[in-house]
Amino acid sequence: MRKTIGRHIVGRFGFYLGIIVLAFAVLKFENYLQSIPTAIPVTTIPDKAVDAFLEMNRLLTTLGTSLLGAVALLLFGGLRGKACSRDLWAAIAGAVSVGLSIYYGYAACQTVTSMLDAGVFDPHSPSLLTNQNAHFYTFLAGVIFFSDFVYQNMRMEDGHEQPHDVTGS
């Protein structure tokens, strides 16, 4: 029993350490991509920038809503509390992160709307970038927490199988 708990903690620590390393690598790659100079005709930038921003916002909001639905399905439909009590904190943290992501998406959309009402769209506005980055990174945190919750529950379910219950082909 003691070895199982130790493996559980080491496995979870390894999961989050891998996520941190991956996030750092992606952040460095993103900084590199943003440092590359680009030449785009000035006349098409405002319209394309607004369209690209709104599409990204819609995509993240749709994915976030789908992720919330998946968490609710697993908690209230599929698992029905059988094996998820131990790792419930990961599901709750994921749902809160995705909820915050949807809120930041709404705030970013309101910022764009107010910019368009003023007749100026600045994709590098600090308030817009703050909302946009918070929208993405809180969604990403929700995905990480949700994947940890699913992984831990899959391992728990696999551990409860009896050898005579498993059939091979």
Tens of pLDDT, residue by residue over 7-31, are 667 777 787 888 888 888 887 888 7
If asked whether residues 156 and 135 sit together in one domain, one would say yes
Reading the block at residue 63, the tokens are: 């994915």
Whole-angstrom CA distances from 84 to 92, 93, 117, 140, 154 are 11, 14, 47, 22, 10
Q: Enter the pTM of the model.
A: 0.68
User: How far is 20 from 10, CA to CA, in rounded Å?
Assistant: 15
Domain assignment present for residue 115? The answer is: yes
The residue assigned the tokens 């749709």 is 62
Is 123 inside any structural domain?
yes
> For residue 56, is it within any domain?
yes
- Pair 35, 59 in one domain: no
Same domain? For 47 and 87 the reply is yes
Lowest mean pLDDT, pick from 118-132, 133-147, 154-168 = 154-168
Tell me: pLDDT of 152 over 60.
Answer: yes
Q: Could you tell me the two tokens for 66?
A: 């789908």
Number of domains in the chain: 2
Question: Residue 75 and residue 141: Cα distance in Å, rounded?
Answer: 19
Q: What is the residue range of 5's domain?
A: 1-39
Residue 169 lies in a domain: no
In a domain, 167, yes or no: no
